[in-house]
Amino acid sequence: MKNVIYFIGICLMVACSKDSIENDASEEFPGGATTYNSIFSGSYEQPASNLNANELAQHASGDKLFSNSFVANPSTVNPGLGPIFNNVSCVLCHPKNGKSPQPFSGSDLRGLLFRVSIPRADESQGPMPVPGLGTQFQHRAIVGTTSEGQVQISFQETTHTFADGSTYSLRKPIYTLTSTTATIPANMMVSPRIAQQVIGLGLLEAIPESVILAKQDINDADNDGISGKANRVFNPILGVFELGRFGWKANNATLLVQATDAIHQDMGVTSFVFPQETAYGQVQDDGLADDPELDSLDAIDLAFYTQSLAVPKRRDFNSSSTNNGKQIFFNIGCNKCHTQKYTTGNNTAFAFLNNQTFYPYTDLLLHDMGPDLADGRPDYLATGTEWRTPPLWGIGLSELVNGHTNYLHDGRARNLLEAIMWHGGEAEAQKIKVSQLSKKDREDLVKFVGSL
């Protein structure tokens, strides 16, 4: 009842626009019936709470593949690593299914990798490979082979001031890539990307395409400074262009493509989706045309694992400071990109995803985030300044699960407030409004985001 009155109050204030705040009691369970109800360091590693016995078995099989370390051929177990790769297992980059910490040095990149390409005339197509390096920089190689090169990281720190006079600093990483096996072209574009959390992705995959497309406002017709745009990317399984949903630039269409792309580019393991080694045609190529290294059913189980991971229950739901922070989040307009709520229909890919109401806080659209966050490397329709709005659910558990609070596409933000203060471009107005908040309101905003 209290929620209903609250909601009516808000409706009067903002004329009940479709962006208005919704204070459903069910939001305490952000993944609907998939939500996992205990909070501990393993909270990102739980199967959706509504799986049946067969689904639980398939989830367990995918779980094993996600944590297995792959090794170089020949091997009877987990073969196919390399010849060049970034890491040897999914979980080493996505620790406990969470975000990787920002690395301090190129000698241990953890879950950070670099996409590379050279410009091409038509930006509606995928990135153009760099001769000798392809579209991803693999800094490791199996014994007897040379990797594509090394990365150096340095940092540039700047100090900024809130309206109340207190200061904060932002630390920008600078990456230098060197190679002994290829000549790095002067026009090479580099996109640093950190491993994301992988919870709740089945629900994001189940959002009807029409719902996401309806949120686009490419020419900012409503004149609010925000112009979300959907990515359209090539799906090699179906051989067609589809709505992009996954990755920092919404550069992958489905979780099956995402999983097989990851094991291919990040680990060097071929599959029915990507049958050709990433080293093909390069000095690291062994010249053999092998069968796919990952079994097709294993590929499907691996994707299923990410389709069926639970979202943890909210913490600190309904405290007065969390509620104040939520109010500020909506008043400022954070929800214009971080869309609160969706409902699935009754014909998703899996029964356990049907008819769920869930709260991911993302529109899955691309936004220009300004020059400071820009990577300068287009990815299908995403320009060099655009990024996909990341889901915020579970984000407050990073510290408990992963022991760090690094956020944004390369992990540069050292806490939630820094992540917010890095916003620019289409979110410049929201960033400025945050800088004008009182200390208490700023803390409540961060508290609300941390309760998601």
- Residues of this chain that interact with ligand HEC (CB under 6 A) are 66, 86-87, 90, 93-94, 111, 113, 193-196, 198, 201, 226, 246-248, 251, 255, 258-259, 262-263, 266-267, 302, 306, 329, 332-334, 336-338, 367, 369, 373, 387, 389-390, 392, 395, 407-409, 416, 419-420, 423, 426-427, 430, 434, 445, 449
| CB of residue 368 to ligand HEC, shortest distance in Å | 8
Residue 147, binding choice from ligand HEC, Ca ion, none, Cβ under 5 to 8 Å by partner class: none
Residue 48, binding choice from Ca ion, ligand HEC, none, Cβ under 5 to 8 Å by partner class: none
Residue 224, binding choice from ligand HEC, Ca ion, none, Cβ under 5 to 8 Å by partner class: Ca ion
User: Which residues sit at the interface with Ca ion, rule CB under 5 A?
Assistant: 80, 133-134, 136, 138, 217, 220, 222, 224, 226, 268
CA 283, CA 132: separation in Å to the nearest integer? 8
| CB of residue 396 to ligand HEC, shortest distance in Å | 9
Residue 268, binding choice from Ca ion, ligand HEC, none, Cβ under 5 to 8 Å by partner class: Ca ion
- Which strand (E) or helix (H) includes residue 234? strand 231-235
Q: Name the residue with tokens 């097709």.
A: 296
Q: State the DSSP code for 181.
A: S
CA 5, CA 416: separation in Å to the nearest integer? 31
Helices (H) and strands (E) in the chain, counts: 12, 13
| CB of residue 14 to ligand HEC, shortest distance in Å | 16
The smaller minimum CB distance to Ca ion, of residues 60 and 218, is found at: 218
CA 33, CA 36: separation in Å to the nearest integer? 8
Q: Are 127 and 153 in contact (CB under 8 A)?
A: no
The smaller minimum CB distance to ligand HEC, of residues 227 and 344, is found at: 227
In 3D space, the residue among 390, 396, 394 whose CA is nearest the CA of residue 450 turns out to be 396
Q: 118 phi and psi, to 5 degrees?
A: -115, 155
| Beta-carbon count within 10 A of 168 CB | 16
The smaller minimum CB distance to ligand HEC, of residues 113 and 188, is found at: 113
Which segments of 286-389 does DSSP mark as H helices, in order?
A: 296-307, 320-332
The smaller minimum CB distance to ligand HEC, of residues 277 and 346, is found at: 277
- Which strand (E) or helix (H) includes residue 244? strand 240-244
Q: Indicate the residue whose CB is closest to Ca ion.
A: 134
| HSE toward the beta carbon, residue 117, CA cutoff 13 A | 19
Sign of CA dihedral 391, 173, 427, 375: negative
| CB of residue 283 to ligand HEC, shortest distance in Å | 21
- Which strand (E) or helix (H) includes residue 160? strand 150-161
Which segments of 134-287 does DSSP mark as H helices, in order?
A: 201-205, 209-214, 255-261
Q: Where in 313-442 does DSSP place strands (E)?
A: 342-343, 357-358, 366-368, 386-388
| CB of residue 253 to Ca ion, shortest distance in Å | 21
In 3D space, the residue among 91, 71, 89, 79 whose CA is nearest the CA of residue 142 turns out to be 71
Q: Name the residue with tokens 């996909």.
A: 388
Q: Name the residue with tokens 């529109």.
A: 363
| CB of residue 209 to ligand HEC, shortest distance in Å | 16
211 Cβ contact list (under 8 Å, min separation 6): 342
The smaller minimum CB distance to ligand HEC, of residues 373 and 397, is found at: 373
The smaller minimum CB distance to ligand HEC, of residues 164 and 183, is found at: 164
| CB of residue 287 to ligand HEC, shortest distance in Å | 25
Residue 247, binding choice from Ca ion, ligand HEC, none, Cβ under 5 to 8 Å by partner class: ligand HEC
Residue 334, binding choice from Ca ion, ligand HEC, none, Cβ under 5 to 8 Å by partner class: ligand HEC
| CB of residue 70 to ligand HEC, shortest distance in Å | 9
Residue 222, binding choice from ligand HEC, Ca ion, none, Cβ under 5 to 8 Å by partner class: Ca ion
The two beta strands, 84-85 and 140-141, are antiparallel
| HSE toward the beta carbon, residue 245, CA cutoff 13 A | 24
The smaller minimum CB distance to ligand HEC, of residues 51 and 449, is found at: 449
| CB of residue 212 to Ca ion, shortest distance in Å | 15
Residue 203, binding choice from ligand HEC, Ca ion, none, Cβ under 5 to 8 Å by partner class: none
The smaller minimum CB distance to ligand HEC, of residues 313 and 447, is found at: 447
Give the angle subtended at the CA of 394 by the CAs of 393 and 398, to the nearest 5°: 140
| CB of residue 441 to Ca ion, shortest distance in Å | 25
Residue 310, binding choice from Ca ion, ligand HEC, none, Cβ under 5 to 8 Å by partner class: none
